[in-house]
Amino acid sequence: MNLNYPKMVMRASIIRQISLIVVALSIFSTTYSQLWTRYRTEMFIGGGASQMLSDLGGGPGEGRNDIRDMDLEATNYSATIGVRYKISEYVSGRLSFSHLQTLASDEYSENAGRSIRNLSARTNIFEFSPMVEVYLLKESIPMNKTLGRRYRHYGQGGDFSIYMATGFTALYFNPQAQLNGTWHDLQPLGTEGQGLETGNGKYSRFTFGLPVGIGFKYSMTRYWSISLEGQARFTASDYLDDVSTDYYDNQEIRDAYGPVAAELANRRLDGGGGEGGIRGNPENNDVYMFLEFHLSRRFDSSKRRGGIRRSF
């Protein structure tokens, strides 16, 4: 009788158990690492605050076209809805539609010349932006399906990720100004002589822009996440605030477009602003920005395929 036989059997049993554990862990690790492929698609919605850098308002010095010219008093609102599709663990594509309203006013400027100019504009913007997101800190899909401690032992309870985004923006904008309590669309009024014999043609209210953004995202559960996202749009137009070049003959504007157009074309407090005088700066196109909180919902693609329901 081989006295070592029980030990050999026990050793073989232990090796089998260890092998099974290693295989199970390997399968789980592989499955978890590929979990993102089941949750490629998500929808998001959010809102926040908007700002614009344009010819109006700004700091005490000359116009800089950067954040030093930002007027906090002119902060307004923004809202966004969109869909995101994960191409890889580090890259996602997205489509979003946003509506925002921006304010720009010489009333808020610390520059004496711009304050005397006394122009202002409220601009409604509707934009469509296809973009690509690149994750600097990749997003992890938590194992827990709901909030609460009972699910924490299945895996991560949540994770942070950081991404940058860029792409293309198509937008429609409509600058308005208020006179005697009534808001007037400015583009049809030709406030810089657009459409008149010696003036330029009227500017288009459709344009495009280069979007640049950065986001910080936190995954609360497998399905839900929240994020803080900052976006800027470098547009191809200098007329988001209806101001770009020089003053036009105010009497000609009055004769062609009426007294409201003449009043909104030149609102200087010192009575100046004769034909050819500087009204804006055509060297810099307008930029607008928004900072938003988003709520996102992921969708499990395996539930649409049928077959055996997975438990994780």
Q: What pLDDT is stored for residue 15 in this prediction?
A: 63
What are residue 252's DSSP bridge partners? none
Report the amino acid identity of residue 180.
Answer: N
User: How much is the pTM?
Assistant: 0.84
Read off the pLDDT of residues 85-129 as tens digits, 9 standing for 90 and up. Answer: 999 999 999 999 999 999 999 999 888 888 999 999 999 999 999
How far is the C-alpha of 88 from the C-alpha of 297, rounded, in Å?
18
Q: What pLDDT is stored for residue 10 in this prediction?
A: 63
Could you state, in chain order, the average pLDDT of each consecutive group of 10 residues for the chain (312 residues)? 58 60 44 71 97 87 71 94 95 98 92 91 98 92 63 51 97 97 97 94 97 96 94 97 96 97 95 89 94 96 58 46
Read off the pLDDT of residues 195-236 as tens digits, 9 standing for 90 and up. Answer: 998 889 999 999 999 999 999 999 988 899 999 999 999 999
DSSP result, the chain:
--TTHHHHHHHHHHHHHHHHHHHHHHHHHHHHHTGGGG--EEEEEEEEEEEEESSSS--SSS--SSGGG--GGG-EEEEEEEEEEESSSSEEEEEEEEEEEEEEEGGG-S-HHHHHH--EEEEEEEEEEEEEEEEEE-----S-SSSSGGGGGGS-S-EEEEEEEEE-EEEEEEEEEEETTEEEESGGGTTT-TTSTTSPPPPPSEEEEEEEEEEEEEE-SSSEEEEEEEEEEEES-S-TTS--SB---HHHHHHHH-HHHHHHH---TTS---TT-B---TTS--EEEEEEEEEEEEE-GGGGT-SSPP--
